[in-house]
């Protein structure tokens, strides 16, 4: 399993009229968590794109439990439960406030696109090999 925890503070401009973190901002929070999880693999999105692979989101879902408020510190927990296979990479998320209360859960699925053709492609071997230390039984 790959697990990363990322702290994010809710900024004033991310809140709505009720003082809650705007519901749509969580897509950005999830992206921050996903970028940090990718760094655990030994590369960044920038590195992946430089090697000719784009990774767009094809599915996003979220289940809201409690609101976050301006200046709350949120912990975004990002997980990959299994080594990806095929074309899809599913990331699972949980967001917690500083009291440890669960704010929401979600999932984002990415696919690989060949930058030169703009078509779906299999995950390259170098990309898949980066998962091996985290999933020793799935090599």
Query: pLDDT tens for residues 77-93?
Result: 999 999 998 889 999 99
pTM, full prediction? 0.93
Q: Is 92 helix (H, G, I), strand (E, B) or coil?
A: strand
What sections of the chain are H helices per DSSP? 25-40, 45-50, 125-129
Summarize pLDDT for 7-56 with one digit per residue, the tens. Answer: 999 999 999 999 999 999 999 999 999 999 999 999 988 999 999 999 99
- What pLDDT, on a 0 to 100 scale, did the predictor assign at position 126? 93
- Domain 2-130, second-level architecture: Roll (3.10)
**Residue 137 pLDDT greater than 90, yes or no:** no
Residues designated catalytic = 16
Q: Which residues pair with 59 in a beta bridge?
A: 109
- Closest C-alpha to 66, from 57, 74, 78: 74
**Residue 139 pLDDT greater than 80, yes or no:** no
| Rounded mean pLDDT, 100-129 | 96
Counting residues of the chain whose pLDDT is more than 70, the rounded percentage is: 99
Mean pLDDT of the chain: 95
**Residue 138 pLDDT greater than 80, yes or no:** no
Query: Do 31 and 39 contact (CB within 8 A), yes or no?
Result: no
């Amino acid at each position: 399993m790959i697990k990363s925890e990322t702290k994010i503070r809710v900024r004033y401009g991310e809140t709505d009229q009720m003082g809650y973190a705007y519901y749509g901002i969580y897509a950005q929070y999830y992206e921050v968590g996903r970028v940090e999880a990718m760094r655990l693999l030994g590369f960044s999105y920038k590195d992946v794109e430089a090697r000719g692979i784009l990774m767009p989101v094809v599915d996003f879902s979220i289940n809201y439990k409690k609101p976050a408020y301006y200046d709350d510190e949120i912990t975004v927990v990002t997980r990959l439960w299994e080594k990806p296979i095929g074309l899809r990479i599913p990331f699972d998320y949980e967001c917690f406030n500083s009291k440890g209360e669960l704010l929401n859960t979600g999932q984002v699925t990415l696919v690989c696109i060949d930058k030169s053709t703009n078509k779906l492609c299999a995950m390259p071997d170098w990309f898949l090999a980066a998962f091996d230390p985290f999933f020793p039984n799935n090599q």
